[in-house]
Amino acid sequence: MKRRLFLRNSALGTLALTIPAIRSFGNNFSPDYNLPRRVLGKTGEKLSVIGFGGIMLNDNPQDFANELVAKSYELGVNYYDVAPGYGNAQERLGPALKPYRKNCFLACKTQKRNAVEAQAELEDSLRKLETDYFDLYQLHALSSVNEVEQVFAPGGAMEVFVKAKKEGKVKYLGFSAHSVDAALLAMKNFDFDSILFPINFACWHSGNFGPQVFAEAEKRGMGILALKAMALTRLEQGEQKLYKNVWYRPVADEEVMKMALKYTLSKNITAAVPPGQNTLFLKGLEFMNDYQPITDSETQKLLTLAKTTKPVFMHS
């Protein structure tokens, strides 16, 4: 099926997404369009393979947020992820998701490492997101072994996580990490339900970043949620961001972008969260319209590209 979308042949970086464009998005999808769902580890929860990255609502009007959430829900997205560090994204997502909340899997995070601050941030997030519980609550962006040690020390954030689960304020516990060593130590220290981690063709093959974490999470039966599937490389020093809410350079070529997403979805993961740009999120949904598993020749193209790409993350 040919794709004739408002995104096609447009400069993704400069396209301003309008409410009418959101409303018409997907109208020419196959009548049997069906966003697949996969089970999240041992939880039994079934999540849409494309997740909604709440950061893309940051600094957008509420009516825009309402339309984007409504459209994503209509197309089968039931996994929504957000964090306090994403500007005013929580305030936008809360009201927008409220009509669908009972049918959705809502994940939130905290970058606070001690119990007092983590408790305050959890309560603030619940209030802003207009919900009395989170399906998944995560330690956000663990970037060093030292940070992992902090959250597990007496008076650390993990005390809040365990207590919140007992109180029914969160159903499942997880973490995201930007460090292989931090991720491995976190998994060793606690039986988490999920991990949110960069699973990206260039990181995996040129950065030695991902295989060892993925293998450990898989061995433990954890739900694996993928970040950075459509990322290409870091911005050079002084290089302007293409998108306000995306700190790296995503893949620009549409076909390569699709292959990169397919590469990540070919792994034993539950879902991928596209970059924090609404047009790229919709691209991810569009790609699922005629989705086929990645081929050997597509994989080879990505491996060739990986050899000449400096990954977003690397592990020595």
Tens of pLDDT, residue by residue over 185-195, are: 999 999 999 99
**How far apart (Å, rounded) are the C-alpha atoms in residues 260 and 172?**
29
**String of DSSP letters for 54-70:** GGGGTT--HHHHHHHHH
Chain segment 178-231, per-residue pLDDT in tens: 999 999 999 999 999 999 999 999 999 999 999 999 999 999 999 999 999 999
User: What is the Cα 199 distance to its own chain's centre?
Assistant: 11
- For residue 5, the model assigns a pLDDT of 43
The domains located in the chain, with CATH, are: 35-307 (3.20.20.100)
Which residues, given as ranges, of the chain have pLDDT below 50? Answer: 1-14
Alpha helices in the chain (DSSP H): 19-24, 62-74, 89-97, 115-128, 145-152, 157-166, 180-189, 201-206, 211-219, 254-265, 278-287, 296-307
Other residues' Cβ atoms within 10 Å of the Cβ of residue 74: 12
pLDDT number for residue 316 = 85
CA–CA separation, 126 and 104 (whole Å) = 15
The answer to pTM > 0.85 is yes
Q: Convert 234-290 into a string of H (helix), E (strand) and C (coil).
A: ECCCCCCCCECCECEEECCCHHHHHHHHHHHHCCCCCEECCCCCHHHHHHHHHHHHH
Q: What is the pLDDT of residues 256-289, one digit of tens each?
A: 999 999 999 999 999 999 999 999 999 999 999 9
